[in-house]
Amino acid sequence: MKRTELLFTSGLLVAVFGFSGCQTTSLPAGTITAPTQTVPAPEPEDFSFLPAATEATPTPALAEVLDPALLKSESLFSSSQLEVHKRLVQDGQVNDLLRYVLKIEVKEAVEGVRITELLPANIRFVSGDPAPTVQNNEYRWDFGALERGATREIAVTVQALDEGDHTICSDVFVQNRLCLPFFTGQPKLALTKSGPATIELNESGTWSVTVSNKGSAVARNVTIKDAFPAGLQATGAAEQILGDLEPDSSRTVAFKARAVQQGSFINTASASYRDGPAPATGSSPVTVVQSEILISKSGPTQAYVFKPETFEIAIQNTGDTDLRNVRITDLLPAGSTVAENGGGRVKDNAIGWVIPSLPAGASQLITTRIAATRPGIANSRVKLITAKGLEASDSHSTEWLAVPGVTISITDSKDPIRVGENTTYTIRVRNQGDFEPVSGVVTLQFNEKLSPKKVEGNARGLIDGQTVTFPRTTLEPGKHINLRVTAEGAQIGPGRAILSFTADFLSEPIISQETTNVY
């Protein structure tokens, strides 16, 4: 029985190592040691001081081995990178538990360290600490990369199933890698597209497309395509070939199109190169709009001369864009006088307005009061133009009827005048009737730019501040009176003299106006 133990012990310690990678698979002479004497194994009952070798019991470390004689039985693998010591720490008879330890000591940093235990058929694996990976009766421990000076231990417990000499071999693998550095570049295209956010229907626009190579290699045969949406129709080439594009460089091209359909669209362009992956794309939103504006003028179809009447100008933004700086001009017929300008600016026979902003769908109403100084059909025309050149116009006709028996007029003798200089206003009141006399009061009202100084003529007038009043006068049919009022320029600006005639047969005064510029 003791001889069996001895033979088994000797056979177990003769371990064979394999080494892969750049290391040789043969062992240098003297690197494997074997026992030179037999060590009697203790009787089975003498193992009672050792813990039972089960999977639940940790395998003792090498320092815990109690029998110094067993520590003399070991095998050694040594290379320039690492050493592996394999020692028997517990022997026994057939079916007893046998234990051995492998210790790895790293001399230089290594990668891919792996130990594989090759158990013959008559040796049964019981446990390992750490636990191995098992495949086809091979038990493998993978340690990966280990730094210089690192150590690792494997404790293995096996069981011999029959009598005889046994050999358990260990394959030691270290990954040795030879690297060849080189670089392969890759083009990477990026595209940006910009253009008008809005464009009028039937108008043309230009879109700018910039393609950049943000990669690390030349992009060969770069092509840019602009896929115009349904609302836009290309007016030039929709595809442009740029050729080669170096890394960190860019090119900009332009595409033109005409708006053919109202609505909101996404205008997308793409850039690709030879044998490249999916194209780079960039988009620019655009809304095709149609600006439209209407203007109309309304007023009486018949009115009496010298009697101011109300006229209305209606402006409506009927398009889908906001309009800015809308300019309106009301062109009055000759002989018209302005009683109320509706907030506009009066110049000669015209009134002008500016609407800074007129949003889509908005409208605005302007009201004026105009009188005529002569009978007949008078045509007035109002026109409009926006900052973008959109135009509209309308006209209106009024038949001005003569006031029964009376016409009035006023003219200045000098225009313009300096501040302190005088001008004389000639006033003529005539009864055009053929049958009855007309009785009424003549009043002349000056604004602050003029100061009345003297009254002359067929009737005596009274100056009261800025107002000159003539007493009630009776005019026989076909007769007239002439009056003169001298006024002095008081302030720089347009001086206005408003003449009015009040009579019993008139519901409102007859008004005439003369403007004299003071400088």
- The single-letter code of the amino acid at 273 is Y
Summarize the confidence of residues 244-270 as an average pLDDT. Answer: 95
Q: Clarify whether residues 285 and 297 are in a common domain.
A: no
Q: Are residues 159 and 13 in the same domain?
A: yes
Same domain? For 67 and 10 the reply is yes
Q: Pick the last residue of a domain from 401, 417, 433.
A: 401
pLDDT of residue 508: 83
183 occurs within a structural domain: no
pLDDT of 269 reads 95
Largest CA distance in the chain: 171
Whether 342 maps to a domain, the answer reads yes
Question: For position 355, which CATH number holds?
Answer: 2.60.40.10
pLDDT reported for residue 42: 37
Write the pLDDT tens digit of every residue in 140-160: 999 999 999 999 999 999 999
Parent domain of 214: 189-289
Of 401, 417, 446, which closes a domain?
Answer: 401
Q: How far is CA 149 from its chain centroid?
A: 58
pLDDT in tens, 158-178: 999 999 888 899 999 998 888
pLDDT of 504 over the 60 cut: yes
What is the pTM for the complete model shown? 0.44
Give how many domains the chain has, as a whole number. 4
What pLDDT was estimated at residue 450? Answer: 94
Question: b vs e for 429-462, b when ≥16 Cβ sit within 10 Å of the residue's Cβ?
Answer: bbbbbeeeebebebbbbbeebbbbeebebebebe
Same-domain check for residues 125 and 242: no
Structural domain includes residue 182: no
Q: Does residue 169 form part of some domain?
A: yes
Q: Say whether pLDDT at 338 is over 70.
A: yes
pLDDT (0 to 100) of residue 40: 38
Tens-place pLDDT, residues 200-216? 999 999 999 999 999 99
Pick the last residue of a domain from 142, 175, 208: 175
What average pLDDT score do residues 97-122 get?
94
Q: Tens of pLDDT along 266-282?
A: 999 999 999 888 999 99
| Same-domain pairing of 397 and 412 | no
Question: Does residue 503 lie in a domain region?
Answer: yes
pLDDT at 404: 67
pLDDT at 114 over 60: yes
Mean pLDDT of 81-101: 93
- 467 and 358 co-located in one domain: no
Whether 53 and 201 share a structural domain: no
Q: Are 128 and 115 in contact (CB under 8 A)?
A: no
In this structure, how many other beta carbons lie within 10 angstroms of the beta carbon of residue 422?
16
Which runs of E-coded beta strand occur in 260-388? 263-272, 280-289, 293-298, 302-304, 309-317, 323-331, 336-340, 345-347, 350-358, 363-372, 376-385
Q: How confident is the model at residue 451 (pLDDT cuts 50, 70, 90)?
A: very high
Residues in the chain: 519
One domain for residues 6 and 112: yes
Mean pLDDT of 11-15: 32
Structure-token match 């004497």, residue found: 37
- Give the whole-number percent of the chain exceeding pLDDT 90: 66
The owner of tokens 């234990």 is: 99
